[in-house]
Structure 1
Amino acid sequence: MELRHLRYFEAVAIEMNFSRAAERLHIAQPPLSRQIQQLEEALGAQLLDRKARPMQLTPAGRFFLEQTVQVLGRLAEVGEATRRIAQGQRAWFGIGFVPSTLYGLLPELIRRFRADHPEVEVSLSELTTVQQADALKAGRIDVGFGRLPLGDPDIQAETVLEEAVVAALPARHALLRHERLSLALLAEEPLVLYPARPRPSYADQVLQMFRGHGLAPRVAMEANELQTAIGLVAAGLGVALVPESVRRLHRDDVDYRPVAEAGVVSPVIMNFRRGDRSALLGHFKELVSSRG
């Protein structure tokens, strides 16, 4: 599957007519039809119901169109930003993050950095900590915020803070009568774990919190997203251990309690390329150091 396949499919899906789509793309109709067939073969899915009158998208086609529009839109944004940078109009600074850091210090840091550097194109990428290492070395981001130590000699890491971990429970759960909850009590409850993949991740940190105290939690559900995990807690499918800043995600059907044991924390770790002395990174690190 190549980029042209996405552009061709978008045109056909918009026009719902191969002839008009071919005119729109300034190509002949037979090659366009072959390109769409190649795309369907590559995906192993039929995207168009050609027997319908008028032609229609299949359910798979509707999903693929939604994703195609997003991908092509993002590529257009990247292209425009690249042109501005090449013309000297704007510098560029990439920030990677795991989702839970958006409930804590990161939004304020981004606001302050953008206020200080309005001329800079700031790019934000949601990435796991492990993905951030690859993105840093490839130059796709300049700094990353994760929760796992990477141990990569090419990446320098600074622990920004040690964030307390709290238990998220469904509203009216029996354990809410306690002001603090021990890991032993929590280990008796079904556990909602996130992210399910890729690993290693925060999920492994949570499991180690229990194992470090000789406990074996019962994992009832796994979710890929933090908000999904909180939703499963709200539905009564289990409890979850989350960074304390997640409490800012206010929900009437979820409540939180501190963990009784000392030292049950999840670090926020700032990662950047070792030896990177760029002025923008330097200023960003100063903002992190001076956060109040």
Structure 2
Amino acid sequence: MELRHLRYFRVVAEELNLTRAARRLHMSQPPLTRQINQLEEEVGAKLFSRSTRGMTLTPAGQFFLEHTLQILEKLDTAVAGTRRLARHHRELFGIGFVPSVFYGQLPLLVRQLRQKDDIELTLAELTTVQQVQALKAGRIDIGFGRLRIDDPEVVQQVLFDEPMIVAMPTGHPLEGTRPTLAELAEYPHVLFPAAPRPSLADIVLGMYRRRGLKIEVVQEANELQTTLGLIASGFGITLVPEQVRRLQRDGVTYTDLADRHITIPILCSRRRNEAPGPIMQEANAILEVMVENRRSGRYP
């Protein structure tokens, strides 16, 4: 299967007419028909239903189209980024992050690095485990996560420890209090993320487990926004890092815990034994200022 097969398929799926599709592709209809037939043979499924009334996508064809569009979009993005790098002589710098760190200082780092004319930034939302894999594969240069990973090729630095808070439905019986974990354990919980694991969900479960507490998990979600939506709907409560408080959502109230020493780290992951280049030195300098500001209370 070649990329031209996917491009031909996309145009035919958009037109649902071989004559119009061939005209868009600047080719005659018989070769296009052969290409689509070859694609169906290789995939092993009929992608189009053909009748006197015209063409329609089969369920298999609709599924294949959705993934084809994603592939072609990623390819177009890669080509455009490559051309931009070559045109402006920029150096690529990849950052991986877990969602809960993007509501604090990380956007400041991104903003300052983007101001540099010689840097092309790429951002990837990845769990800490995925960040370690991406670092080792060279897909990113630095990662920001929550989970401690023991890997000989990666070094992790604790930037600071962040207090945990509870997100609860507005009007919850514990609203306006500073609850303990024992009090929270009496109520249903929503966990985030559901997968892949291990993740923040396992850290939260461990906080209860170490205190001999067991919680009822009524729902799990992969996205932070989905989790907050479930909480706003009254499904349950959850523990989140303090930075998430910046993410305001109708129907959700954030409350401090009784014990402000219940914290979670923000970890910076880099490749071990790799001499920092100019961009990494710039990133490290920005991080030092950000961490000092955080520790001194100049911003949350």
Q: TM-score, normalised by structure 2?
A: 0.87
Q: Paired residues, what number?
A: 286
**Cα distance, 1:105–1:128 mapped onto 2, change above 3 Å:** same
**Cα distance, 1:109–1:57 mapped onto 2, change above 3 Å:** same
| CA drift at 1:15 | 2.2
- Are residues 1:217 and 2:215 paired? yes
The answer for the alignment partner of 1:120 in structure 2 is 119
| CA drift at 1:13 | 1.2
Query: Structure 2 CA distance, aligned partners of 1:78 and 1:124?
Result: 13
**Cα distance, 1:165–1:152 mapped onto 2, change above 3 Å:** same
> Any conservation in 2 of the 1:18–1:33 contact (CA below 8 Å)?
no
| CA drift at 1:190 | 0.6
> Any conservation in 2 of the 1:8–1:36 contact (CA below 8 Å)?
no
Residues 115-162 of structure 1 deviation map (CA, whole Å, 9 limit, x = unaligned): 1x1231111111111111111111111111111011111011111121
RMSD of aligned alpha carbons: 2.2
> Any conservation in 1 of the 2:164–2:260 contact (CA below 8 Å)?
no
| CA drift at 1:55 | 2.0
Identity rate of aligned residues, in percent? 47
Runs of 4 or more above 6 Å deviation = none
70-79 vs 17-26, which moves further: 17-26
**Cα distance, 1:229–1:40 mapped onto 2, change above 3 Å:** farther
Query: Structure 2 CA distance, aligned partners of 1:52 and 1:224?
Result: 45
The answer for the alignment partner of 2:33 in structure 1 is 29
The answer for the alignment partner of 1:100 in structure 2 is 100
Query: Structure 1 CA distance, aligned partners of 2:64 and 2:32?
Result: 24
Q: Which amino acid counterpart does residue 284 of structure 1 have in structure 2?
A: A
The answer for the alignment partner of 2:11 in structure 1 is 11
Instruction: Select the residue among 168, 188, 191 that pairs with 1:190.
Output: 188
Q: Which amino acid counterpart does residue 198 of structure 1 have in structure 2?
A: P
| CA drift at 1:40 | 5.8
Q: Which amino acid counterpart does residue 68 of structure 1 have in structure 2?
A: T
The answer for the alignment partner of 1:274 in structure 2 is 272
> Any conservation in 2 of the 1:8–1:35 contact (CA below 8 Å)?
no
3-12 vs 72-81, which moves further: 3-12
SS of structure 2 residue aligned to 1:221: strand
Q: TM-score, normalised by structure 1?
A: 0.89
The answer for the alignment partner of 1:290 in structure 2 is 289
The answer for the alignment partner of 2:80 in structure 1 is 80
Query: Structure 2 CA distance, aligned partners of 1:162 and 1:9?
Result: 51
* 1:1-292 alignment runs, 5 A limit: 3-22=3-22, 24=25, 26=27, 27-39=31-43, 41=45, 47-51=47-51, 53-58=53-58, 61-62=61-62, 64-86=64-86, 89-115=89-115, 117-178=116-177, 180-276=178-274, 277-291=276-290, 292=293
